[in-house]
Structure 1
Amino acid sequence: MKAVVTVMLKPGVLDPQGKAIAHALGALGFTGVEDVRAGKVIELTLAETDPEKARAAAEEMARRLLANGVIEGFRVEVEG
């Protein structure tokens, strides 16, 4: 079973990478981009076959290692 963990900075936390991307997009002529937030996506292949157990395991992994709970939030999607 595959779990996808998306980690993003919490609202209000400065995002220098997002600001750099927004600036570069403007320099390339893309208009109308008001804000950019950069994050990371982690794909986990799990041996677990129960979707709820897979989600719980991925959430625990995110809490303990994949996301810094002080400045980042995360969401988990499980794909059968």
Structure 2
Amino acid sequence: MKARVTVTLKNGVLDPQGQAIEGSLASLGFGGVKGVRQGKVFDLVLEATDEAAARTQLTGMCEKLLANTVIENYQIEISN
């Protein structure tokens, strides 16, 4: 089973890397970009065959390691 976990900063949390990317895009001639938020993507391959069990396992991974839940949100997508 394959899974993708996308981690992004919560609204209201400053994103200096996103701001730097936005400034760089403007300096490269890509005008009109109004707000960049950066994040992380994790692609995992799980041995689990039960989607509910996989989601529980992935949630634990996010809560303990993949995301800083104080300042980040995460989204889990599972495919076979």
Please, which runs of 5 or more residues in structure 2 have no aligned partner? none
Counterpart for residue 8 of structure 2: 8
How many Å separate the matches in 2 of 1:54 and 1:32? Answer: 40
1:54 and 2:54 matched:
yes
- The alignment partner of 2:17 has SS state of helix
Counterpart for residue 30 of structure 1: 30
Counterpart for residue 39 of structure 2: 39
TM-score norm. by structure 1 comes to 0.96
Q: Deviations over 1:13-66 (max 9, x none)?
A: 000110000000000111111000000001111000111211121111101110
Identity over the aligned pairs, expressed in percent? 54
Partner letter of residue 49 of structure 1? T
Q: After TM superposition, which residue ranges in structure 1, 4 or more long, deviate above 2 angstroms?
A: none
TM-score norm. by structure 2 comes to 0.96
Counterpart for residue 19 of structure 2: 19
Please, which runs of 5 or more residues in structure 1 have no aligned partner? none
Partner letter of residue 7 of structure 1? V
How many Å separate the matches in 2 of 1:77 and 1:56? Answer: 12
Q: How many residues align?
A: 80
